[in-house]
Chain A
Amino acid sequence: MQTHSAIWVYLSASPLWGLTLTLVCYLLALKIYRQANHHPLLNPVGWSILMIITVLVVGDISYPSYFSGAQFIHFLLGPVTVALAIPLFFQLEKLKKVWLPLSVALVVGMTVSGFSAYFIAQALGASEQTMLSMIPKSVTAPVAMGIAEKTGGLPTLTAVFVVMTGIFGAFIGTSLFKLFRIQDDTVKGVAMGVTAHGLGTARSFQVSPEMGAFAGLAMALAASLSAFVLPVVLSLLKSF
């Protein structure tokens, strides 16, 4: 029989445990979330992250070591971004009807979300790199990281901000719309997709299929437009 340390040496060199840990934590958090009737405070992504960090801190395991396994999940962000073309295609008829209000809301929404964060962070004395990493935070992670790389932000920090934004948007969205009497599911979906990307979309699908479809649509469109719009707005701001 192998000793415990020999097993540990084998495991820590293998990407297997990081991958398994991520899936186990996610499924566990998802189960609790579903049993609690999708209570926003039990957001499965937030709790999975907390669980995994706890395991890593307790086990004195480094993030790169964990990521060598988890990267197999992270990698899927690319093909899944491509896959957004399919729901987009099936919303084509609706898209033709609302394309003008949608595109205006899209450009205004993502500019306001990104740059309000930039200026609030600036006012509160954040570092330049933090501010720059915040600009694409409303865009889905793979795209946001790509933009951050091109505008002088820190891609991994942007990823963290993206996840925080998504969790918070999914958490506050529906009650905020209720408070301000915004009732149209199309409008609510678009706001969630533009502001809180994939996590906002996941939340919207729980409210209604229409809200979900439009959130997905808005997220996909924001993902394709943001890469053009955000760097341009930033360079305009910098020229002043």
Chain B
Amino acid sequence: MQFLTVMTLLLIFQLSGELLVLSWDLPVPGPVLGMMLMFLVLLFKHKVAHQMRPATEQLLSHLSLLFIPAGVGVMVHVVRLEQEWIAILVAIFLSTLIGLLVTAWTMQLMMKLLHSKDIK
């Protein structure tokens, strides 16, 4: 599928998501609802998923680039960061460490629990 076609499809789903969020006042961001809609459609249209794959893989391979403009926004918050930098840095570093470990441990534990149930 042509890159332009893929982009158009993605935008149509995003727009549908945004419209649903607005008209029903949903608590989800529009693009997320768009993703869920697209996932549902793909379940019935496997061929479309295969056709979209190369172009979306290209797009997703530079996912980290898309975070840069928002990251530069740190400039705007210089005053807050100057006042609260210790709290912010410690909170982010520690919680990321805790988050990584707790997620991995929970997943490990759940897999072990379910596995031992299978044996019985």
Q: Which residues of A contact B (CB under 8 A)?
A: 22-23, 25-26, 44-45, 48-49, 52-53, 56-57, 63, 66-67, 70-71, 73-74, 76-90, 98, 100-102, 104-106, 108-110, 112-114, 116-118, 120-121, 124-127, 130, 134, 137-138, 141-143, 145-147, 150, 156-157, 159-166, 168-169, 172-173, 176-177, 180, 182, 184, 186-188, 190-192, 194-196, 198-199, 201-202, 216, 220, 223-224, 227-228, 231
Contacts and interface: CB of A to CB of B under 8 A. Distances in A.
Given A112-B98, A176-B101, A227 B29 contact: yes
Given A109-B99, A126-B87, A160 B27 contact: no
A115 B29 CA distance: 20
Q: Is the interface of B mostly helix, strand, loop or mixed?
A: helix
Interface string B80-120: 10001011101111111111111111111011001000000
Contacts of A157: 77, 80
Interface residues of B, number: 68
Given A45-B64, A81-B31, A113-B96, A98 B74 contact: no
A28 B31 CA distance: 30
A141 B29 CA distance: 11
A89 B96 contact: no
B110 A104 contact: yes
A190 B107 contact: yes
Contacts of A48: 68, 71
Contact of B66 (A53, A76, A100): A76
6 contacts: A81-B14, A83-B60, A89-B49, A104-B110, A108-B103, A223-B32
B4 to A, nearest CB: 12
A109 B28 CA distance: 19
Given A73-B69, A112-B102, A146-B29, 17 more contacts: A49-B72, A70-B69, A80-B10, A82-B10, A87-B57, A105-B103, A121-B84, A134-B92, A143-B29, A159-B71, A162-B70, A177-B100, A190-B104, A191-B104, A198-B66, A224-B35, A227-B28
Contact of B65 (A73, A110, A137, A228): A73
A79 B75 CA distance: 26
Contacts of A81: 14, 29, 31-32, 34-35
Contact of A134 (B35, B65, B86, B91): B91
Contacts of B95: 112-114, 116-117, 120, 134, 137, 165
B53 A86 contact: yes
Nearest to A52: B72
